[in-house]
Amino acid sequence: MRARQSRPSVARVYSYVLGGRDNYGVDKDLGDYFIEDLPGSEQVAITNRDAVLRAAKAMAEAGIRQIIDMGCGLPANVNVHEVVRQAQPDAHVVYIDDDPFVVAHGRALLAVDDGIVVLQADIRDTEAIKDDAEVQRLINFDEPVGLLFAMTLSFVNDEEGPTTVVQYWADRIASGSRVYLSHFRTGNTREALATANKILEAFGRGRFRTDAEILACFGTLPLDEDGLRPCIQWRPELPEDATRDLTVWEELVVSGMARKA
Q: What is the pLDDT along the chain (261 residues), one digit of tens a residue?
A: 344 467 888 989 989 988 888 888 999 999 999 999 999 899 999 999 999 999 999 999 999 999 999 999 999 999 999 999 999 999 999 999 999 999 999 999 999 999 999 999 999 999 999 999 999 999 999 999 999 999 999 999 999 999 999 999 999 999 999 999 999 999 989 989 999 999 999 888 999 999 999 999 999 999 999 999 999 999 998 888 888 899 999 999 999 999 999
| CA dist 185 → 196, 212, 220, 239 (Å) | 10, 10, 21, 23
Q: In this predicted structure, what is the pLDDT of residue 242?
A: 84
Residue 139 lies in a domain: yes
Residue 27 lies in a domain: yes
Q: How many CB atoms lie within 10 A of CB 228?
A: 19
Residue 60 lies in a domain: yes
Residue 159 lies in a domain: yes
Number of Cα atoms under 13 Å in the Cβ half of residue 81: 21
Residue 5 lies in a domain: no
Write the DSSP string, 48-114. Answer: HHHHHHHHHHHHHHTT--EEEEET--S--SS-HHHHHHHH-TT-EEEEEES-HHHHHHHHHHT--ST
pTM of the model: 0.93
Q: In what order do the strands lie in the sheet with 66-70?
A: 116-120, 92-97, 66-70, 146-150, 178-184, 253-259, 229-230
Residue 255 lies in a domain: yes
Cα dihedral 30, 36, 37, 43, rounded to 10, equals 80
Distance CA 108, CA 128 (A): 23
CATH number of the domain residue 57 falls in: 3.40.50.150
Contacts of 217 (CB under 8 A, 6+ apart): 153, 162, 163, 166, 181, 183, 209
Q: In this predicted structure, what is the pLDDT of residue 5?
A: 64
Residue 1 lies in a domain: no
Distance CA 160, CA 141 (A): 25
Distance CA 28, CA 15 (A): 10
Is the distance from CB of 30 to CB of 58 less than 8 angstroms? no
Q: How many CB atoms lie within 10 A of CB 222?
A: 10
* Nearest CA-CA partner of 60 in 102, 92, 28, 95: 92
Tell me, what DSSP letter sits at residue 8? Answer: -
Is the distance from CB of 60 to CB of 86 less than 8 angstroms? yes
Residue 186, classified by CB atoms within 10 Å of its CB into exposed (0-12), middle (13-18) or buried (19+), is: middle
Q: How many domains does the chain have?
A: 1
Q: In this predicted structure, what is the pLDDT of residue 22?
A: 83
Residue ranges making up the domain that contains 164: 10-259
* Nearest CA-CA partner of 29 in 53, 50, 10, 13: 13
